[in-house]
Structure 1
């Protein structure tokens, strides 16, 4: 049976924290790959600061050079709000011989009781919790804990830095940094 990690998110923009988490979980759990699944419209946040195509393009630039990371556009293709249960039901239909490991930060671990149809979802996927500053990995739901280096970076912090005309060098991969500059993303939003 294949073992695949799932890292979902808005990726607005994708940053080094996303890739560190994916690589640490992939190696710790000996996963064959990690699929990055950008959401079209996040169900638990306000709308994304950039359109789905820009977020997809930024991810694609980085993932093209990493054999173990793959871009899966299931939620963008579906458009609208995406709930994890809908995505996982579809993925299980398409890949019945695959065991999925859904990677979430500690902030989402604490939020698990509020996830849409969480009891059904936990039957379809193994949750993998990684630490995040200011949060604990405490929940009544079964999760696999993976220790990762603490890198306190977030997409909102990067957007704020861009709006304040501060450097984001080394916080995002160089290809993402170039894309953001070339397309004038996150300026005056």
Structure 2
């Protein structure tokens, strides 16, 4: 059975924290692959600040170039609109019946798992893997594998804010992501 890690999110923009988290989980659990799964429209966030979905997808592509076991799972882009993890994972389980899915979440998401759509049923489709994040608890009434990773207090919203202020984002995002943001004038750059 193939062991696949899935890191979902808006990736607006993708940053080194995402890459560190994926890499650490893959190594700790000896996963065969990591799929970055960008949501087309986030069901739990306001959409007025979101960059065009195409740009977010391209930024992930350039961020993971060169890592042989990182790839993009485009299912939520193909479905368009809002996607819920339960519905997405149900489809993926049907498409990949010989795969064991590990859904990677940061501690910020662990705190809100009780609010996830059909969480009790989702627990039968995936193994949740929680990764530490500064300022958040990893306590949960749900079964979650815990993985320790180097912590970095970094978020996409911080990066967007720095860009708006004309501040550097060097070393916070991969060089190719920074270049893509500049070339496409994203986030007010």
TM-score range, shorter chain: over 0.9
How many matched pairs? 188
Aligned to 2:81: 80
Unaligned stretches of 5+ residues in structure 1: none
1:27-66 matches, within 5 Å, as 27-47=27-47, 48-66=49-67
Aligned to 1:69: 70
- Would you say the 8 A contact 1:49–1:186 is kept in 2? no
Aligned to 1:136: 137
Distance in 1 between the 2:147 and 2:57 partners? Answer: 27
Structure 1 position 65, deviation (Å): 1.5
TM-score of the pair, normalised by structure 2: 0.98
Q: Which moved more, 1:47-56 or 1:97-106?
A: 47-56
C-alpha root-mean-square deviation of aligned residues, in Å?
0.9
Structure 1 position 64, deviation (Å): 2.7
1:99-178 matches, within 5 Å, as 99-178=100-179
1:183 aligns with 2:161: no
TM-score of the pair, normalised by structure 1: 0.98
**Poorly superposed stretches of 4+, deviation over 4 Å:** none
**Deviation sequence 1:39-83 (CA, Å, 0-9, x none):** 000011111520110000111112231111011100011000010
**Deviation sequence 1:98-126 (CA, Å, 0-9, x none):** 00000001011010011000000000000
**Deviation sequence 1:115-166 (CA, Å, 0-9, x none):** 0000000000000001111111011000000000011110000000000110
Secondary structure in 2 aligned to 1:186? helix
Q: Which moved more, 1:64-73 or 1:33-42?
A: 64-73
Unaligned stretches of 5+ residues in structure 2: none
Distance in 2 between the 1:184 and 1:27 partners? Answer: 35
Distance in 2 between the 1:178 and 1:76 partners? Answer: 23
